[in-house]
Amino acid sequence: MRVVNLSAAALAAVCFGAIAVKALADDVKDGYKGVPRTFLWNPGSIEFTDTTKYKKPGPWVIGFSNASISNAWAVANLHSVQYAASQHKDLIKQLIITDANDDPNKQASDIQDLIQRKPDLLIIRPATTALDPAVARAMKSGIPVVLNDREVSSQNFVSLVNADDWSLGRVQAQWMAESLNFKGNVVMIAGIAGASPAENRIKAAKEVFNQYPGIKILDVQYTDWSPSKGKTVVAALIQKYGKEINALWADHGLEVMGGIEAFIDAGWKDGEMPMTFCADFNGCLEQAVKHKIPVLDYNYPPAMGGWSVEVALKVLQGIPVPKHYVLGSDIVISKGHETASVKADRWAEDYVQAGKDPFWVVSSGIPNYDPKTFKAE
């Protein structure tokens, strides 16, 4: 596959450079005292993939190899894929969906089965980076691959559609470090070992924490992005470290919903629980606000499922697509807990949706989304 830097990419890079210079000037002007914004929000290089060789007449058959629907975020991501496909019935003849139940071996088999059915394109949400050989087989057979949510260990794909794991990890860690006045103990919990969102966010957070000698990481544990397992893991961490814990870093809000319950069950009072992080789910923020926990929310929108479909359709039309298509996110912080480097786009207290289901997610990309009643052709 040939990757080319098009004029749009070059223009974007130039524009970013100009924006960065202006941002530095504005920082001086407005008295900004935080770390360089170019570190927290570094977008990396901008590459576009030439998709000319994949252009073909429609309507098309698209396969979606899904890692699983083992948590509410993954369900919303699947629904986003289905919703987007239903909006393009004139272009999509058939959408074939497989579910690997978080088993990389099963997913490798799923992908091989899909290859044999000769779809026009595959959207793959890899269980782990170990799916790289299966993705490579699809590409070698002439079937373009668009990755959804997670990476593989090589660049042998057409486009990756997700939000930025690196800025998510850096921003929340910087916020925690500054909130602790650069001195305190952090426990870290994450999703599935080997899944790129978990591993990249941990690495990004450690990039920040390691800059401050006063910040000590007490432990790192995985929760499979499960509220119940999150509760079990955090309960064990509380048992081991008790009041030594000053901050609960997490790579997502799913496990934090259970983590907050563990602190409550252990007898921690409102206003005493360590600062933490939420993402995507109303229940996590609702608990944090109710129990007066300093919180930062940085959404990782499951709407990326639908955007994967949009990118796939561009590929099949021969339109250049970004090698990495990054969705944006708002920063949501509890009132009174902004720091020098991390400011709020919205306040957590205003962002919470009272009366909504704990697993309701605002960033699904589906109008009036309700996972319990969602239907798509």
Over the stretch 89-113, which tens digit does the pLDDT of each residue have?
A: 999 999 999 999 999 999 999 999 9
Q: Are 151 and 252 part of one and the same domain? A: no
pLDDT tens-digit profile of 1-20? 333 333 333 333 333 333 33
Locate tokens 């793959």: which residue? 124
Q: With respect to residue 139, please indicate whether it lies within any of the assigned structural domains.
A: yes
Q: Are 208 and 154 part of one and the same domain? A: no
Per-residue pLDDT of the chain (377 residues; tens, 9 = 90+): 333 333 333 333 333 333 333 333 344 344 556 665 555 655 555 689 999 999 999 999 999 999 999 999 999 999 999 999 999 999 999 999 999 999 999 999 999 999 999 999 999 999 999 999 999 999 999 999 999 999 999 999 999 999 889 999 999 999 999 999 999 999 999 999 999 999 999 999 999 999 999 999 999 999 999 999 999 999 999 999 999 999 999 999 999 999 999 999 999 999 999 999 999 889 999 999 999 999 999 989 999 999 999 999 999 999 999 999 888 888 999 999 999 999 999 999 999 988 888 888 878 889 888 888 999 87
Q: With respect to residue 214, please indicate whether it lies within any of the assigned structural domains.
A: yes
Q: With respect to residue 20, please indicate whether it lies within any of the assigned structural domains.
A: yes
Identify the CATH number of the domain in which residue 290 sits: 3.40.50.2300
Q: Are 203 and 341 part of one and the same domain? A: yes
Q: What is the pLDDT of residue 334?
A: 97
Q: Are 253 and 290 part of one and the same domain? A: yes
Q: Are 199 and 286 part of one and the same domain? A: yes
Q: What pTM was computed for the model?
A: 0.82
DSSP 293-353: --EEEE---TTHHHHHHHHHHHHHTT--EESEEEE---EEE-TT---SS---SEEHHHH--
Q: What is the pLDDT of residue 5?
A: 35
Pick from 238, 248, 262: which is nearest to 217 by CA? 248
Q: Are 175 and 241 part of one and the same domain? A: yes
- Give the structural domain span for 191: 165-301+331-351
> Where does residue 56 fall: left (phi above 0), alpha (psi -120 to 50 degrees), or beta otherwise?
beta
Q: With respect to residue 232, please indicate whether it lies within any of the assigned structural domains.
A: yes
Q: Are 78 and 135 part of one and the same domain? A: yes
Q: With respect to residue 295, please indicate whether it lies within any of the assigned structural domains.
A: yes
Q: Are 269 and 256 part of one and the same domain? A: yes
**Contact yes or no for 52/111 (Cβ under 8 A):** no
Q: With respect to residue 374, please indicate whether it lies within any of the assigned structural domains.
A: no
User: Strand 159-163 vs strand 145-148: parallel, antiparallel, or unpaired?
Assistant: parallel
Q: With respect to residue 372, please indicate whether it lies within any of the assigned structural domains.
A: no
Q: Are 287 and 309 part of one and the same domain? A: no
Q: What is the pLDDT of residue 354?
A: 83
Q: Provide CB contacts within 8 A for 14, sequence distance 6+.
A: none
Q: Are 292 and 337 part of one and the same domain? A: yes
